[in-house]
Amino acid sequence: MIRLEPFERSDFKQLMAWIDSPEFMVIWGGKTFSYPLTEQQLETYICSNALIYCVVYEDNNEVIGHINLTMDPSNHSGRIGKVIVGKRNLQGLGIGQLMVQKVLDIAFGQLKLHRVSLGVFDFNHAAIACYEKAGFVKEGLLREARKVDNEFWNLWEMGILQKEWLNSQI
């Protein structure tokens, strides 16, 4: 249904079109990016040490999403970030979960990491459900972790261990 391909400069415009508000930029981009998303920001991003992927819908070879994995080799850990199913008509169909599973296959199956984490705002119920279905566990709530305009947002830290992922593969 989907495959991951390396994120390249030719994917910049599509990603920039999906990030359509300052609030969504915070949800998607965290502290890494500022609104509006620019090619200069993405140039810096692709030079980082993250594994950065565009998500391709195999039925028509259309780019429909984005996801990345950053690594901390000294702790054998990784962190999933910048997750988006950009094609709105495909949201809610389980594609996000497939994206996360493919990245976990890379993290645990290929890179042999011990742990993978991510952060998600507490009001993003669809994303939380997606991550829990993929095997992530809520590890802690960072209360009022991010200031957005005049309010503070709570952030769930979630994680999955290699042994938990292996058990889910049986």
Cα-Cα-Cα-Cα dihedral sign, residues 133, 94, 59, 67: negative
pLDDT given at position 31? 87
Does residue 135 sit in helix, strand or coil?
coil
Report phi then psi at 21, rounded to 5: -160, 155
Average pLDDT over residues 122-150: 96
pLDDT of residue 80: 98
Residue 99 buriedness (CB in 10 A; 0-12 / 13-18 / 19+): buried
- Give the DSSP H or E segment for 117: strand 115-121
C-alpha 7: how far from chain center: 13
What pLDDT does 112 receive? 98
| pLDDT at residue 170 is higher than 80 | no
- CB-based contact 79:70 (threshold 8 Å): yes
- Give the confidence band of 154 by pLDDT, cuts at 50, 70, 90: very high
Please, what is the angle between helix 95-104 and helix 125-133, to 10°? 50
Please give the mean pLDDT across all residues of the chain: 96
Amino acid at 158: M
User: What does the pLDDT average to over 96-111?
Assistant: 97
Domains along the chain with CATH numbers: 2-168 (3.40.630.30)
pLDDT tens column, 23-55 = 999 999 988 999 999 999 999 999 999 999 999
Q: Give the whole-angstrom CA distance, residue 114 versus residue 160.
A: 9
Distance CA 122, CA 145 (A): 11
What pTM value is reported for the model? 0.96
Task: Please classify residue 156 by burial: count the beta carbons closer than 10 Å to its beta carbon, then call 0-12 exposed, 13-18 middle and 19+ buried.
Answer: buried
* CA diameter of the chain: 47
Cα 167 from Cα 68, distance rounded (Å): 24
pLDDT at 111 over 80: yes
